[in-house]
Amino acid sequence: MPDKTIPDKLLDDAIKNQLYTEQYANGLSKQVQILLTKAQDEIAGVIAKIDPTAPTMTKWKQARLENLNGSISDILDSTFKDISNNVSKELTGMGKTQAISTVEKYNKNIGADIFNVTLTPDNVKAIVENTMIDGKVIGDWWDNVKETTKTKMAAAMAAGTQALQVGMVQGESVGELISRIRGTKTTPGIMSLTKREATALARTSVLQVANAVRQETYKANSDVLDGIQFVATLDARTCPTCRPYDGKQYDMNLNPVGHNLPWPGTPMHFNCRCTTVPITKSWAALAGPKSPLTPDQQQTLYNIPVGERSSINGPVAGDTTYQDWLITQPVEEQQSILGQGKWKLWSENKLDVADLLDNTGRELTLKELQAKLEILLHRSKLPSRMN
């Protein structure tokens, strides 16, 4: 395999960073789900305790229902406050790490310390507080999820109480009311839908902040960059919205270069996995008489092998599929990204990258993959990818 060019190295790190950021986002989503599951259990407990379906006088039924709604509201207020605080803390910590690693990895791949501005903790905090998703700051999204859940809960309790009162003679119980919150195997409950929305919000928040930190780092070091390249096509799940942008370049003012697609921002939508790669100025521009670098920095440029100098500001390869890219990575990187069990199935050509996800894009567990493998055993046996 030929040595990789500097743009190829930058692309490698951009994709790795995006993959590890996604893994971090999944971990944060699980933290959010744990808090929401705890809230779900607490709500089920107060429903059972207050039981607005109990056969009492009408005015007492109404009082019980109001008391129940108040208790549910308190639980949700407390839960979403904890979620918001936890997410904000995690995003700030992740953003600080992202700011440092963006500079370090760029300089390592270039072979010279020409990125010399790292965002301060205050810069990162401001990014977290002001990052927008579809025109709304992240904190507003959490408030919206909370208030929507409250409204759905109150409506469900009112409708459910009325329905159960009618059905009491048939032996129905308050358990039916709790099922409206938890859901069943066939019907999603209010909290299961809330978890789904909260998971997407947590993941998108992580990707949004990570991308915003990288963009601000590029801007802070714009004197050594010619522009930014959009990277979208990593696997078969790349959506039609993102696919046309793959490989498109923009100048440092985010104006299109060689095309007319306006800068879309990243992520482009909820659960978007697109990323960007910086386009470095040419070696001649960085080392020439009008160089933006200090004499010491210019001196380090001469350490870059002559054969790599001409490629320093070359374009990143377009239409790079995740599968193609993963095959080019060292075994230890593949194992780190996939995990030992999944890597073994993938390296033996028993499963493709697309098989590692379900039809909603959720990453499958090793147990689920092994079950899927049994279904796919009719596939032609091919040599291992590692042979």
Taking only the tens place, the pLDDT of each residue in 67-88 is 888 898 999 999 999 999 999 9
Q: What is the mean pLDDT of residues 206-210?
A: 91
pLDDT one-digit tens code per residue, 289-304: 888 888 888 888 888 8
pLDDT of residue 125: 92
pLDDT of residue 244: 78
User: What is the domain partition of the chain in residue ranges?
Assistant: 6-205, 222-323, 340-375
pLDDT of residue 261: 87
Of 377 and 276, more confident: 276
pLDDT over threshold 60, residue 1: no
Q: What is the pLDDT of residues 220-274, one digit of tens each?
A: 999 999 999 888 756 555 666 777 788 888 999 999 998 888 888 777 777 777 8
pLDDT band at 369 (very low <50, low <70, confident <90, very high): low
Which pLDDT band holds residue 215 (cuts at 50, 70, 90)?
Answer: very high
Q: Which tokens belong to 272? A: 């978007």
* SS3 per-residue string spanning the chain: CCCCCHHHHHHHHHHHHHHHHHHHHHHHHHHHHHHHHHHHHHHHHHHHHHCCCCCCCHHHHHHHHHHHHHHHHHHHHHHHHHHHHHHHHHHHHHHHHHHHHHHHHHHHHHCCCCCCCCCCHHHHHHHHHHCEECCEEHHHHHHHHHHHHHHHHHHHHHHHHHHHHHHHHHCCCHHHHHHHHHECCCCECHHHHHHHHHHHHHHHHHHHHHHHHHHHHHHHCHHHEEEEEEECCCCCCCCCCCHHHCCCEECCCCCEECCCCCCCCCCCCCCCCCEEEEEECCHHHHHCCCCCCCHHHHHHHCCCCHHHHCCCCCCCCCCCCHHHHHHCCCHHHHHHHHCHHHHHHHHCCCCCHHHHECCCCCECCHHHHHHHHHHCCCCCCCCCCCC
What pLDDT score does 11 carry?
86
pLDDT for 381 equals 47
pLDDT digits (tens, 9 = 90+) for 34-47: 999 999 999 888 88
For residue range 315-356, what is the model confidence (pLDDT) as tens digits? Answer: 666 556 667 777 878 888 788 777 788 888 888 877 766 666
N-term to C-term CA, the chain:
14
**Residue 213, pLDDT above cutoff 90:** yes
Give the rounded percent of residues in the chain with a pLDDT score beyond 90. Answer: 26
- Residue 161: what pLDDT? 67
- What pTM was computed for the model? 0.77
Highest mean pLDDT among 124-133, 166-175, 321-330: 124-133
Band (pLDDT 50/70/90 cuts) for residue 91 is: very high
Average of per-residue pLDDT values in the chain: 80
Q: What percent of the chain has pLDDT over 70?
A: 79
| CA 25 – CA 207 distance, rounded (Å) | 7
Q: What's residue 100's pLDDT? A: 92
